Chains A and B, each alone.
Chain A
Amino acid sequence: MNGGGLLQRPQLYSLSLMQLAVMLSLAPHLPLWLLGILLSCAGWRLSRPRHAWQMPPLPVKLLLIGACIAVFYFTHLSLRTMEGVVALLASGFALKTLEVGSRRDGLVVIFAGSFVLACSFLFDQSLWASCYVIFCLWILLATLLHLHQPPLQRRSPWQPCFSRAAVLMAQSLPLMVVLYLVFPRLPPLWTMPLQSGQGLTGISDRVAPGELASLAQSNELAFQVSFDGAPPAQRQLYWRGLVLNRYDGSAWVPAPFPGPSQQQQLAQTQLRTLADADPGQAVSYSLIMQPSGQRWLFALAPAEILQGQATVSYDDTLQASKRLDDTLGLRLRSYPDSPRDRLLPDWLKRQSLQLPAMGNPRTRTLAEQLRHRYNDDALLLQAAMALYRQQPFTYTLTPPTYSGLNSIDDFMFDGQRGFCAHFAGSLVYLLRAAGIPTRLVVGYQGGEWNGRGNFLTVRQAEAHAWAEAWVSDKGWQRLDPTAMVAPDRIERSTDQLADMEGAPLLRRTLHALPWLQLARQQMDAWQYAWQRAVVNYGSNQQFQLWQQLQSFFSSDWRHWLWPLAALLGLFTAFATISGVWRRQPKALEVQLLEQLCTRMAQRGLTASMSMTPQHLAQMLMEAYPAQQPAIDGFFALLQQRLYQPGQQVSAARLRHAYRTLIRLLRQRPAPTGRS
């Protein structure tokens, strides 16, 4: 093969357009200069014929590759991350445009394009991204068809290829569905980390006052939940994520993980926690976590895991068995408001009382006063919470910054403006100073209920921090000082707090336009359904499907006879309507000529139905000179029957002449010297 001929201008245009579409699928995840490379390469290639430029020689190509690698180096794109590798692939894909000349080059670009397109799923598997990929695939197929048009139609436009490609894709749809359902889900042979920290938002394991505020501006999805029964009330939806048990003087961080003996102690209390749970309060739900690049998960505590690769930790938080670089589906059962850890091991108690030796004297004094006044822990907690209601605290997403050694004092007594992290952090500090084991919990509160799809969407804006204090014999009690200061924040979702100070413009707009909100809910519902049904379909679901099918077919044959009969009936109706059996039988001459054409094609003679019978006869005679009488016999009869009015040739005679001809042709070897 000599490359299949040079590509024409329209074909080069369609190739470049296809490349642009494919690159755009990666555009949100990769640096934009890659698009620039593609555009300049394609521009150069397309204007090459006009200016009679030469093909780039090898040194120039090497130089360009070197330049690309240099840009990689200077923009800190590591080749050890997925982003780096895909960016390298994409830059090669773009540079290839420079040397496209023959059809074979075009095919290389198309095949590379389909691989690059598949790579976009590494970054985004949402419904919209998938729709775009299918759109790109359509363009890709149309380009492939365009490149394969016969030379006569070379100059024909690209558009007709699109309808053909659409038909091809529609035809392959059933096969795609079947393969998706039954093809084994193999675990990856190797994995590549995504570029760390980039493109991933969410809660971090270090909460300094003022940190969750940036999240409150983010509309990014955190996770979605669908409940088996009715959803719990909004104010009960405290999605616990992380327990931060240690204050280092400026920020709250997780305590070091407990040692083996401590874990053993814990195992016993843990068992008791769920034993205390009231089965009547159980709430079962499915959860789809968005990739966060972290291992922690979010649940209503205490929770047990029904399905999913995760474990429950000692502080009733959930940990995934591997980092969330991908979406993760879980099934959980929670018992909200049932007591947790009625007994607290000493080391954990000590840990929950830790404070830096220095700092915040005014808060410590306040704690001492409280302790002095209330002997009972429960009363002290009530009093502390009352403080937040009585004092002139203001909930705002744009508080002043409190820093330094006495940041909590500054907030409690001077600034008094802040949001959940400030309130919860100061409360934990106050209670610890008063001698009550307390910890800071970070997670999400509430969520947006989507009535169309019956699921709850929790976005980053719902990020929240609250406190948990341990009261002897009652276990951990949830204390949310934010609810004292701004009850609205808890009763309604942040989404509805549109008039709030510092709320982002987008959310205020959404609030002002109900139809927009409705449209967004509908889109979310579709996206969620896609996520649950398609993206989350893994080996577990596959196994369940097989089991269902097996039990279906192994049951009474009458069960599946009816669906089968119905299916057959439907097919018959469809076939009748679409005229599969209404087609008129072909005329005898047409049948014979079509058979003859097929036979000639098998023998390497390029025969088609657009040739006249005389032409076909001539071809046969050149290939089989010895069979001239038989060839003449058949074609003379055919010609008389078809074109000579007044000549009567019976079907039997024609058929007989045809059989004679075929028999004689079969006896002779295939012709040589002609193709």
Chain B
Amino acid sequence: MPIIVHLDVMLAKRKMRSRELSEHIGITEQNVSLLKSGKVKGIRFDTLDSICKALDCQPGDLLEHVPGNEA
């Protein structure tokens, strides 16, 4: 997938655990884990909005497009 998710980096920067984030944004810890590992097909705008609010960041801080990374 050419979209790389940097959620783990942002969580480390904000010193926040996955469980804490999942409680903040109202999705399961399992889904946060899947999102961190990039094993999802998509992310809803409202989930992205909640994550950005919880981590005080921009969508660009969480997602990166890497051309040619099709694996």
**Are A and B associated in one complex?**
no
Which residues on B are within 8 Å of A, measured CB to CB? Answer: none
Which residues on A are within 8 Å of B, measured CB to CB? Answer: none
